[in-house]
Chains A and B, each alone.
Chain A
Amino acid sequence: MLLIRCPYCEEERPELEFRNAGEAHIARSANIAGENEDDFEKFFFIRSNPKGVIYERWRHIHGCARFFNAVRDTVTDKFVMTYKAGEPKPAKLPGASK
């Protein structure tokens, strides 16, 4: 069972309290109604599914109920970091070599 740090509660809590909510940093267009087919396809259907570092959303559903972002390595399942919803994608990851 994973241990996940909720950036709002500022605590590591067991995975049971959380629910994954898919890939992060996929912005919904402010003019979504006028979006062309290709852009809507990218927004709604296309996900990166990487081997390695993924930016994803989690919700502390059985805790503070907040959605937040996390950086996780899909190979080791290790969380690199978590940060609040709305914060930008971190430019540099802690412990990253480049």
Chain B
Amino acid sequence: MNAAFRISGAGRLSQAKTASFSFDGKSYSGIEGDTLASALLANGVHLVGRSFKYHRPRGFLSAGAEEPNALVQIVRDDARKTPNVRATVQELYDGLTANSQNRWPSLAFDVGAVNDLASPLFSAGFYYKTFMWPKSAWKNLYEPKIRAAAGLGVSPDKPDPDHYAARYAHCEVLVLGGGAAGIAAALAAAETGVRVILADEHAEFGGSLRFESGAKIDGENGYAWAQSAVARLKAMDNVRVLSRTTAFGYYAQNFVGLVERVSDHVKNPGRELARERLWQVRAGRVVIATGAIERHMVFANNDRPGVMLASAARTYLNHYGVAVGKNVGVYTANDSAYAAAIDLKKAGVNVAAIVDLRDNPTGPVIDEARALGIEVNFGRAVIRAGGKLRVSSMTVQPKNGGGERTIPVDAILMSAGWTPSVHLFSQSRGKVAFNDETKRFVPGTYAQDCISVGACNGTDGLAASVDEAYAAGAKAAKDSGGKAGKGAKPKVDAGESWSRGMLGAAPGAGPDTTVKAFVDFQNDVTAKDIRQAVHEGMHSIEHVKRFTTNGMATDQGKTSNMHGLAIAAETLGKPIPQVGLTTFRAPYTPVTFGSIVGHARGALFDPTRRTATHGWAASQGAVFEDVGHWKRAWYFPKAGEDMHAAVDRECVTVRKVGGLFDASTLGKIEVVGPDAAKFMELLYTNPWEKLETGRCRYGIMLREDGFIYDDGVVGRLAPDRFHVTTTTGGAPRVMNHMEDYLQTEFPHLNVWLTSITEQWAVIAVQGPKSRDIIAPLVEGIDMSDEALPHMSVREGKICGVPTRLFRMSFTGERGFEVNVPADYGEAVWEALWAEGQKHGATAYGTESMHVLRAEKGYIIVGQDTDGTVTPNDAGLDWAVGKKKTDFVGIRGLARSDLVAKGRKQLVGLKTKDPKVVLEEGAQIVDDPKQPIPMKMIGHVSSSYWSENCGRSIALALVAGGRDRMGETLYVPMPNGTIEVEVTGMVFVDEKGEHLNG
């Protein structure tokens, strides 16, 4: 059975293909090819939402992407509840479930509508004024209430189960918009053989040909021509045609983002279908053919359901076969609404009256309307709409005042004129220019290789648009290497043409009134709000926009910007171009996070780096921590152990016996070449020329400003070969820093830099038994203290595989770092582990590594330093070559601030109560009784419980720290002040005897 407002014989949908759907729990019947909007209108449903601020009842304003009112929630299941879907864009499928938003308890009776009565409280800028006082109420009362009331729709409460595809594409000519102009441009470009992409946001191509009943091209009805032209384009190998695809962002150098809605219109999309597909297109030339958007009239109660754009009513009739009412009124300031009235009248809908603001317009459409017996009134205004949940009347008055007349209607079709869609042009950084004659902004100065054609270029009339577009398409193709085309230009036999109209508030909504004449429907901004903003001192359109929120909703002011601008200009008494236009920004229409994220979620969000021993550590029950992209074993709990027990045991065992630690994540760089030592001299503070082959040195790297950038042990493998280690997190930037200097400052040096972090697995074996653990597995290296003293390196074999064996220690105990090719890392680890077990050694993780090094006062760059710490501050002045004449940072170190007295210096701290462990980051003061705010003289950088010391230990940066040895300082905390004593940084084995123990 036909829905009540479906007109048989009208529209292009096949009435045989029905689809049932529900809205707010009620079932309806529609037709395949409907949008949710056309299907609801076919059933006589106009009331579909409540407005954002005043909760006013709202219907459909448009039939397209510019829709500000008809936002609904589409529900497929718990995980798929998409809010703020424009019902005018959502295609109907059988079983579609939609709900209205921003209403409680129901759409027809909404408690929030009390805001409409209280609207004097909610005028422009009300947030900034109303919620200022008292201050404490913001946090506890205003913000929670506003957050609960604001926002439209309900978020899904489960992870998005859909997947989103992404494609990169290249073409010579990208055509944005598939109306008559876009199709003509695509045809012209495609015929030259270049690669062409044509994209349009709708399911069907044709643009305004969907409603322009009078258009005729190449002897065909306009819409039919569009379909056959697109079919021809689709058949060409060099053309890609994308429907349901919105160009949302125009970026640098003709890089355009498009999002294709792949399955939002499908009843049960299978897993093989992505929900959306992001296209990132790099185009040689872009042809922008985005058309124009009709503006509404600004008059009192122009937001009542049933009041809509004339072109929308025409689209619903001519494309979907739906009448938007049975007795409609028309309110216009230009010719295009007449065409809507004529089409509806011919389809059997009563047109109560046309109210035209113009005094004496003439033209064929006016004659035709009269000939059809439609009452036409010139020089008159609709000063208000009647009705609440649906428009019931329009009240007409001569525009300069006089007697009122109320005409009963069930819909009002309005047109204030057409606004060229310059959004993408403006996003391309082109500058718009105001045409004073036609009162519209059109593309002016171009910034990129693109061209606007048709209505978005301010070109009026179908024939002129198609001519312009065809020429532009041909030129774009030729400029990007295409051959001469052999096709023929489409011939426009008949088309419609209109221009002009009006901007700003209509009579009855002028400065002397307080009526609710909406400019921006989605953000509930009225003409009065804009005037008020100007009166309160907002003189720039950017300020007016932010104060009133005009144009700031998800529709980005597609219908409201020009009206708002005109009202502001009128109030300011300035011409429109002097007030200026706000900048258009991406996205043109809302884009889902899913399409931006694409596949980069879950395991594919970020790479994970695992060391060679990861599997072994996992099998031993290790707990891992993230360090950059690395997963590092944090600690190895035995049954019943918590983290503290495990770390205490690991730390004690390392000092008593020995321990194994995976140090593979440390950055490793090989510096090779005849000038390798010279290069090291320049990049590190230490002297390197005299370092013997086979010996190691702790190196410090500075930035040019003199602050510590990185550190690590460096071994000299040969006169021309250094094995440099860096911090785990610093590896990439240290490599970049080295390359930068080598390539640009010291290019005369003959040196090669190679990252070898991934090539070598590193197993640290530390503790008094470390040599006993390693020795049985090593071949070709003399392990005696004389042959292999602390801070030396040898190449040889371990377990039969090559090794770079470092004797070094980050625990203060006798220690080795066994480097083996990463592929052998796990096997060598297991062999060392088997040896270690004979002695009772432990595996230890990063937490114990941190405690053990802190017990010795070894710093961690990035923890005990923060980019403002010099070697001297850190007590590492000994590592700076005093005789050197150049290294990166040498001049920075001499800066007056860096040599001043009283700098923060790294010291040890012991709490007076040995059981209290300080919090890292806690601030330090010297007088706890001083008034707040206290003078902070430093902070705790490292703090641990040390089972080896039987007490807590800490490192801290304290102003003049080294002159404060033995002083008592204070750490104020929320639960009381902690007394601490300043000490040296070494808490275990001050003489360093363990290194050979």
Contacts and interface: CB of A to CB of B under 8 A. Distances in A.
Contacts of A3: 253, 255, 282
B251 A1 contact: yes
B631 interface: no
Contact of B743 (A32, A67, A76, A78): A67
Contact of A66 (B251, B447, B736, B743): B743
B252 interface: yes
A2 B739 contact: no
A35 B891 contact: yes
B136 interface: no
Nearest to A44: B704
B704 A1 contact: no
The listed residue with most B CB atoms (<10 A of its CB), out of A14, A33, A66, A86, is A33
A44 B705 contact: yes
A37 B897 CA distance: 12
A81 to B, nearest CB: 15
Interface string A1-41: 11100000000001000010100000010001101010010
Contacts of B894: 33
A53 interface: no
Contacts of A21: 740
A1 B744 contact: no
A28 B740 CA distance: 12
B78 interface: no
B896 A33 contact: no
Interface residues of A, number: 24
A44 B280 CA distance: 39
A25 to B, nearest CB: 11
A40 B885 CA distance: 16
Nearest to B168: A14
Contacts of B856: none
A49 to B, nearest CB: 19
A67 B704 contact: no
Contacts of A93: none
B890 interface: yes
A2 B252 CA distance: 6
B892 interface: yes
A44 B896 CA distance: 15
Given A2-B253, A33-B890, A76-B447, A85 B736 contact: no
Contacts of B892: 40, 44
A33 B736 contact: no
A76 B886 CA distance: 40
B77 interface: no
Contact of A76 (B255, B429, B890, B896): B429
B745 interface: yes
B253 A67 contact: no
Contacts of B282: 3, 14
B25 to A, nearest CB: 46
A81 B255 CA distance: 19
The listed residue with most A CB atoms (<10 A of its CB), out of B743, B886, B891, B896, is B891
Interface in B234-265: 251-253, 255
A33 B747 contact: no
Contacts of B447: 76
A59 B736 contact: yes
A30 B743 CA distance: 16
B745 A77 contact: no
Contact of B896 (A37, A78, A85): A37
A32 B252 contact: no
Given A21-B740, A37-B896, A40-B891, A28 B252 contact: no
B745 A28 contact: yes
Interface in B679-731: 704-705
B992 to A, nearest CB: 33
Nearest to B251: A1
A1 B253 contact: yes
Given A32-B886, A37-B896, A85-B744, A67 B891 contact: no
Nearest to A57: B744
A33 B736 CA distance: 23
Given A33-B886, A65-B739, A67-B740, A85 B253 contact: no
Interface string B296-317: 0000000000000000000000
B739 A85 contact: no
B955 to A, nearest CB: 29
A77 B252 contact: yes
A86 B744 CA distance: 7
A32 B282 CA distance: 45
B743 A85 contact: yes
A27 B282 CA distance: 37
B327 to A, nearest CB: 54
Nearest to A19: B736
Contacts of A2: 252-253
A96 B990 CA distance: 68
A1 B255 contact: yes
Given A2-B252, A40-B891, A76-B429, A61 B736 contact: yes
Nearest to B429: A76
Interface of A: 1-3, 14, 19, 21, 28, 32-33, 35, 37, 40, 44, 57, 59, 61, 65-67, 76-78, 85-86
26 contacts: A1-B251, A2-B252, A2-B253, A3-B255, A3-B282, A14-B282, A19-B736, A21-B740, A28-B704, A28-B745, A35-B891, A37-B896, A40-B895, A44-B704, A44-B705, A57-B744, A59-B736, A59-B739, A61-B736, A65-B739, A67-B740, A78-B253, A85-B743, A85-B744, A86-B744, A86-B747
Given A1-B280, A37-B895, A59-B736, 9 more contacts: A1-B253, A3-B282, A32-B890, A35-B891, A61-B736, A76-B447, A77-B253, A85-B744, A86-B747
